[in-house]
Each structure stands twice: as structure tokens, then as C-alpha cells.
Amino acid sequence: MQSAEATPALPYFQQQDKTFPLSQLPGRLQGAKVILIGEEHTRYGQHLTQLAIIRTLLASGKPLTIAMEYFQQPFQQALDDYIAGNIDEAEMLRSTEYFSRWRYDYRLYRPILRYAKAQKIPLLALNVATELTAAVSIKGFAGLSALQKAQLPDRTTQEDATYIAELRPVYEQHRKQRQGKSPSFEYFLQAQVLWDEGMAQRAAGYLKTHPSRLLVILAGTQHVKKQGIPNRLRRRLAIKIRALQPASAGNEARQLIHYYPLTDTLPRAGLLGVMLKTEKGLEIINFSSTSSAPKAGLKKGDRIVAINDQSVTTYADLKLALLGMKPDQTITVKVLRADKTAIKATFKLH
């Protein structure tokens, strides 16, 4: 199994039922100003494949910028500072509020971010702010305040029947996960339109001011479909756009290039096994059935203040303290009780 820092082996590609190696990809993408690489967010092998593609494109002499769905537009400066070496990885994650706004295991993306920094490849925060998409999902475009409406992309109408039809099963999955406590499909649809239009407008704006660069967009498979970002981007700029999708995403069109990703799986992370209330500090409200923390003396109501003598006050602090730790690794957790008594407990992650 490869580590998160390993150089990936080479994947292969298929187009119109013809298979070709990664080395031929730049030639097949000749003339494109935007390359979208779709992903299923939790598939580590797909992220390693994205990295392999980026390495190959850079080696072909193309000046790249990597646009990422995982980061939101208001936090662009933190990405700029990270690439410039002004802040480290931990500060970048704190400043972009990664752990509260995206939440997927950062180790999935870490190889790409670290490679971009090493090669000084600019990163573009592609996504719109959570606050705006959340507001639209609850009350729709019409229910937004004047200030919120001013933050919307220049186009938010939706008339594509295919796009609507493909989002219905996605919506039903969301409803199932939330036990029926979801907004109406109309508002869900509007939030998705905002997401795609916002990312397309962001990409178009960047290319207008950086016309010599190739923009590589990393985003979920649904956004990479032509009704997602591509068609919306084409309405803003008359440019050549190519999309690559993992083979598991289905055959949208014969001319689409499908990649067969590396099969690596991300090693399981070590877990505390605690449920937390994070509004004011890190209060333990429950434990998983497999957690060793209760046997070590931790209780509900305890507030975590340090991991291995590293102070933690926020959820991001906690995630950073645990980043890279493995199951069965021994840690020491310091907590404060309601009466301000300090307790230290040493136990193994699960």
C-alpha cells in the first residue's frame, strides 16, 4: 500500500473504446484551456490519479493552475500564502476552515496540495461560500436578503431537463441520509445550480485575467458532467474544455475520456471514539461502543484541552493534532471537568 506521500504508479485511459497510457494524455488534450478531472470524493486512488495527471501535464511544459472544489472563494488568500510559503499546512487548513466547510479526510488531498506547494503551482479556491448555498437550500433564491442576492453568480436559471433528472436520485439520497429532513427539491436544485454556476463563473473570471494558463479543475463527478460546470463555463468563454471522469462514473458520451484509477486505499485513521459538541470548546457528549476513552477515565461533559501536550481549543485543532495518527496508537488526552479539575487519560486510538 502506498503512503500519502508516495509517487503514484501510472493509471490508464480509455476513449471511444481505445485504451492509451498516461504519457499520451497531453496530446489528446491539445488546445484545451480547461481540463476537468472528476472524482468520487472518498476514493483515494482517484486523487492519486489526479496527481499523476497533474504531474504529466506539468512535465509537458504547460503552466498550470489547480482549481479545487474543496476550498471556498472567500479564503483564496490562505491558498496564495500557502503556495508562497508564508504559512504552513496547518495554518492553511485553519485559515480556509477546511475541517468545518469540507470535512472529508484531508489525507485524501494532501499529496496534491503538497505537490502544488513544492512546484509553486497556483491554487484557485473554486467553491462558493457554505453560508450562501445553505441559505438557498433553505429558502431558495427568492428568499435571500439583498446582501445575499448580491453575492449570487450572474446567472442562476435552470432549464436543462437532463441536469434536473440526474439530480433527483441525488436529492433522494440526501433525504434518506437526513431521514426526510431535507429542503424541497426545488430549493435543493437551486442550491446545486448556485454551486455549479458559482464555480463556472469563478473559473471564467480567473481565465480572463490569466489567459496563458491551463486551468485544471478538480471536482465531484456530478459537477464535471457537461450540464454541470462545462456548459456553464462555455456560456461565459469561447474556449476548448475537456473532461476526464473515473470509469465508475458511467459513459456520459463516447468522446469523454475515462480514467481507470489507481486502486490504493487510504489507511484507516486512528479515532478517539468520542462525539463532541464544538460550539464552545470541545465538550464530550458521548462515546462510540469501541472507544477506549471511557475505560481510561474520560466522562461525558469533559472538555478536551490537549492531545499529547498539544493545546487544542477548536475542532480544527483537534483534527490537526490527530492527523496522521493510526489505530492502536497510544495518545494522552487532557480534559477539564465542569469543576475545572484537570484530568489526563492515556489510551489507544481505535
For the chain, the C-alpha Rg in angstroms (whole number) is: 22
Q: What is the pLDDT of residue 255?
A: 57
Residue 265: pLDDT band with limits 50, 70, 90: confident
Q: What is the mean pLDDT of residues 141-148?
A: 95
Query: For strand 310-311 and strand 283-287, is the pairing parallel, antiparallel, or unpaired?
Result: unpaired
Q: Are 288 and 270 in contact (CB under 8 A)?
A: no
Please tell me the distance from the alpha carbon of residue 321 to that of residue 308, in angstroms, as a whole number: 8
How much of the chain, in percent, has pLDDT values that exceed 90? 79
Q: What is the pLDDT of residue 1?
A: 36
Reported as a single tens digit per residue, the pLDDT across 47-78 is 999 999 999 999 999 899 999 999 999 999 99
The topology under which CATH files domain 12-132+169-260 is: Rossmann fold (3.40.50)
Show the cell assigned to 267.
489507511
Q: Are 263 and 244 in contact (CB under 8 A)?
A: no
Question: In this structure, which CATH number among 1.20.1730.10, 1.10.340.30, 1.10.1760.20, 2.30.42.10 belongs to the domain 274-348?
Answer: 2.30.42.10
The residue extents of the domains of the chain are 12-132+169-260, 274-348
Q: What is the mean pLDDT of residues 157-180?
A: 79
Stronger pLDDT, 170 or 99, i.e. the higher one: 99
Helix (H) or strand (E) holding 114: helix 110-119
Reported as a single tens digit per residue, the pLDDT across 212-253 is 999 999 999 999 999 999 999 999 999 999 999 998 876 555
Q: What is the mean pLDDT of residues 157-185?
A: 79
Residue 181: pLDDT band with limits 50, 70, 90: low
Q: Give buried/exposed letters for 104-121 (b at 16+ CB in 10 A, else e).
A: ebbbbbbbbbebbbeeeb
Q: What is the pLDDT of residue 175?
A: 77
Position 182 pLDDT exceeds 80: no
Residue 11: pLDDT band with limits 50, 70, 90: confident
Reported as a single tens digit per residue, the pLDDT across 91-123 is 999 999 999 999 899 999 999 999 999 999 999
Reported as a single tens digit per residue, the pLDDT across 186-215 is 999 999 999 999 999 999 999 999 999 999
Please tell me the distance from the alpha carbon of residue 256 to that of residue 276, in angstroms, as a whole number: 44
Q: What is the pLDDT of residue 75?
A: 98
Q: What is the pLDDT of residue 5?
A: 43
Q: What is the pLDDT of residue 117?
A: 98
pTM: 0.91
CB atoms within 10 A of CB 75: 18
Q: What is the pLDDT of residue 2?
A: 40
Reported as a single tens digit per residue, the pLDDT across 271-292 is 999 999 998 899 999 999 999 9
Helical spans, DSSP H, in 229-341 = 229-234, 315-322
Single out the residue of 129, 134, 85, 90 nearest to residue 110, CA to CA.
90
Query: For strand 257-260 and strand 241-246, is the pairing parallel, antiparallel, or unpaired?
Result: parallel
